Amino acid sequence: MKNDLILRVVAKLLMPYILLFALYVQFHGDFGPGGGFQAGVIIAATMLFYGLIYGLPAVQKVMPEPLVESMMAVGVLVYGGVGVAGLLLGGNYLDYFVLSHDTVHGQERGIFWVEVGVAITVSGVMMKIFYMFAARRKGEFS
Check residue 102 and report its DSSP letter: S
Quote the pLDDT of residue 141.
47
The rounded distance, in Å, linking the Cα atoms of 87 and 2 is 53
Residues of the chain with pLDDT under 70: 1-2, 30, 137-142
Quote the pLDDT of residue 102.
87
47 Cβ partners below 8 Å, 6+ apart? 59, 62, 63, 123, 127, 130
Quote the pLDDT of residue 116.
93
pLDDT, tens digit, 9 for 90 and up, residues 59-69 = 999 999 999 99
Task: Enumerate the H helices of the chain as residue ranges.
Answer: 5-27, 36-54, 56-62, 65-88, 103-134
pLDDT, tens digit, 9 for 90 and up, residues 30-48 = 677 778 899 999 999 999 9
